[in-house]
Structures are given as structure tokens and as C-alpha cells.
Amino acid sequence: EPVKVGVSFNVNGKDVTLELDTRTTLLDALREHLHLTGSKKGCDQGQCGACTIIMDGRRINSCLSLAIMHDGAKITTIEGLGTPDKLHPMQAAFVKHDGYQCGYCTPGQICASVSVIEEIRAGMPSHVTADLNAKPQMTVEEIRERMSGNICRCGAYSNIIDAIKEVGGVKA
Ligand code: FES
Ligand code: FES
């Protein structure tokens, strides 16, 4: 007999409560219970990054985590970053630089990219980040390393890097 447990999260600004089988992954909770199908299931075992979402300000592979472990969490999926009418700057940069082909990896790539910028900002001195327009200024190697958990089977990597460079700035 599956055991069901109540769990509440805030997803993209909306409070939701679900009754879930204790074995339900966060990815399945999002896709199958909340019908937020932007987050993709590539490998379902932590190797491709297609399921990347942002939880409490950090990126995670939602396929690797049980939903019931995250009661009270604040979750942002690709659906919460922007809308077709009002794209998030990272979404707009992916469009501008053609940062995708089939698009399957794209929601995860974009959630990861947004987090990478935040990670770099978090490590910057506060007098710099006080200026909200200050760009993180990453090296291309650093972007590649930080994005290495997101696989693109179409090989759109160089355009993805260009999109991240545009939003994050790049060191000479
Ligand atoms: Fe989660 Fe591949 S589906 S890492
Ligand atoms: Fe096809 Fe990345 S755009 S997998």
C-alpha cells in the first residue's frame, strides 16, 4: 500500500498543497501533479540537468529529490521565470543567441544559468553587488565548469555560453 503524505510548497509564487506518495520525486510532483511540464525528465538519475529547478535560491536536480522532503520550500521553475510576453533576461538572451536546438534541455539550462549568475554574485564584494546592475564578470572556463551538469544532446553549448556571457558579463 503506498503511503501518502501532505506536502506544501510555494511554486512560482503560488502556495500549493499536494497529497503525495512518499516515493514521488519533486520532478514528478511538478510535472504530473501540478502540470508544470517545463521541467524535463531526461535521465531521471541526476546526470543530465534537464530537470533543474531553483529551490530556496539554489539550483537542484528535481529528479533526485523526494517531494516530501521539501515541505515549505520556495520553488521556481522555468514557468516562473518569465512569460512569452515578458521574458526573463536570461530567456531573452537564449532567444537572441540561439541557445537551443530541440529545446529539451533548455528549461534546465536556463534555470541553471540564472543560478550561476546568482552564485557568482554571492561571491562578489558587497560594495560591488550594491550596484544591482553590476555584472558578475565570469571567465568562459568558469561558466563551462559551472554549467557542466547540464547536458545538451544537440550540442548548443557555444550559443548557451554566449547567452550567459551576455547576461553575466565576461572577463577579458
Ligand atoms: Fe534529472 Fe536528468 S532528469 S538530471
Ligand atoms: Fe536539444 Fe539541448 S537543445 S538537447
pLDDT 10s digits, 34-91: 999 999 999 999 999 999 999 998 999 999 999 999 999 999 999 999 999 999 999 9
Looking at all shown ligands, the one closest to residue 94's CA atom is 2
44 lines ligand 1 (CB under 6 A): yes
Residue that terminates a domain, selected from 81, 107, 122: 81
Any ligand 2 atom below 6 A from CB of 156: yes
64 and 33 in one domain? Answer: yes
How far apart, in whole angstroms, are the C-alpha atoms of residue 108 and residue 32? Answer: 17
- What's the 45 CA to ligand 1 centre distance in angstroms? 5
> Contact 51/108 with Cβ under 8 angstroms?
yes
CATH number at residue 144: 1.10.150.120
* 76 and 113 both lie in a single domain: no
Instruction: Indicate whether 60 and 104 sit together in one domain.
Output: no
**Of the residues 81, 102, 132, the one at which a domain ends:** 81
CA pair distance 52, 39, nearest whole angstrom: 7
Residue 124 in this model has a pLDDT that exceeds 90: no
Q: What pLDDT score does 172 carry?
A: 65
C-alpha to C-alpha distance for 43 and 107, rounded to whole angstroms: 15
**Alpha-carbon span 153 to 74, nearest angstrom:** 30
Give the pLDDT score at 122.
84
Q: Is 127 exposed, middle or buried (0-12, 13-18, 19+ CB in 10 A)?
A: exposed
- Looking at the fold, whether 15 and 62 belong to one and the same domain comes out as yes
130: pLDDT strictly greater than 90: no
What local confidence, expressed as pLDDT, does residue 138 receive? 87
CATH code for the domain of 40:
3.10.20.30
Whether residue 120 has pLDDT greater than 90: no
Single pTM value for the model: 0.94
* Structural domain span for residue 9: 4-81
ipTM: 0.99
Share of the chain above pLDDT 70, in %: 97
Report the pLDDT value the prediction gives residue 127, as an integer from 0 to 100: 74
77 and 94 belong to one structural domain: no
CA distances from 11 to 61, 112, 152 (A): 16, 17, 26
